[in-house]
A = this chain, B = another copy of it.
């Protein structure tokens, strides 16, 4: 059996920061083409899809993104015993390795279900770059199915649903003046300061949905102001990210969020993605949980499960790696976690 830790290391050794997925897509495609007799292989941009076409009554979609965030002094993968450290090890080349080994099993197996494997680009950046978005728009046949699993790092739990995310660019205007005579102008930072203090003091609630506790958040992620050290700044731009529980409509969530910035000169939604309900009562989701006797918790970060849900496909997150280490310098994945994920998914798709 393929060494999943070693395969994950090989994938991590191919850099694939968002926008630079070509090389990794090539590696994945080449490996999948070894099974081209048994699997249909389709490449669209730097998205690679492999699927069985047995005519089964149920199709399971398994997906993972090829791209990573920028390195954080962890660009080079490093194996230490049964642990792989490095960028992408958890988010989510461990998951990609599981999918590649599954492809081999699918090519030689006789699963009763059809399976689609999707390796896609542009997940860690603005939604316009998201490969899954483009497949849903241009090749809906490639992403169709009865249920989807995204191999985002969940530490082997089912992470159900996902919170919605809204980014707002908030601006305060002012009027420039020499900083020795500030009363001739208006300081845009000084105007913004009470709102910044209010956002910093905001305590986001934790909301129960289907017995799962969704902890919301509201974070100032960028502030930029200043022209020169002797000039009263006439513009202060702030980006705020709100994450909200799958309990209200996306339209309502946007309206509630914008209401926080009523005293700003402008507040513009620059990116947003709806929340997804947990879907725990869906038969295939329930079956996956049972197949692995898996623990369930809510997904707090946004993932493409929301996209599948929007398109009427029940979806959950289930993959190797600690989600709390994603996007940190300490990102890593354990061999046991990889093996567990492969075992559960193999059992599920062959049911």
Q: Which residues of A contact B (CB under 8 A)?
A: 69, 72, 124, 163, 165, 167, 176-184, 187, 189-194, 196-197, 199-201, 215, 217, 219-226, 228-233, 236, 239, 241, 243, 270-271, 300-302, 323-324, 326-328
**A220 contacts B187, C-beta separation under 8 Å:** yes
**B223 contacts A179, C-beta separation under 8 Å:** no
**B225 contacts A225, C-beta separation under 8 Å:** no
**B328 contacts A180, C-beta separation under 8 Å:** no
Contacts of A194 in B (CB 8 A): 197, 200
Copies assembled: 2
**B224 contacts A241, C-beta separation under 8 Å:** no
Nearest Cβ distance between residue A152 and chain B, in whole angstroms? 11
Tell me, in angstroms, the Cα distance from A307 to B219 when the chains sit together: 46
Contacts of A300 in B (CB 8 A): 180-181
Closest to A326 in B: B178
Q: Secondary structure of the A side of the interface?
A: mixed
Tell me, in angstroms, the Cα distance from A199 to B220 when the chains sit together: 19
**A221 contacts B226, C-beta separation under 8 Å:** yes
**A233 contacts B222, C-beta separation under 8 Å:** yes
From B179, B230, B301, A180 is in contact (CB under 8 Å) with B301
**A221 contacts B229, C-beta separation under 8 Å:** yes
Contacts of A228 in B (CB 8 A): 69, 221
Contacts of A215 in B (CB 8 A): 183
From B223, B232, B301, A221 is in contact (CB under 8 Å) with B232
Tell me, in angstroms, the Cα distance from A170 to B190 when the chains sit together: 16
**B301 contacts A181, C-beta separation under 8 Å:** yes
Contacts of A327 in B (CB 8 A): 176-178, 230-231
Nearest Cβ distance between residue A278 and chain B, in whole angstroms? 16
**A222 contacts B223, C-beta separation under 8 Å:** no
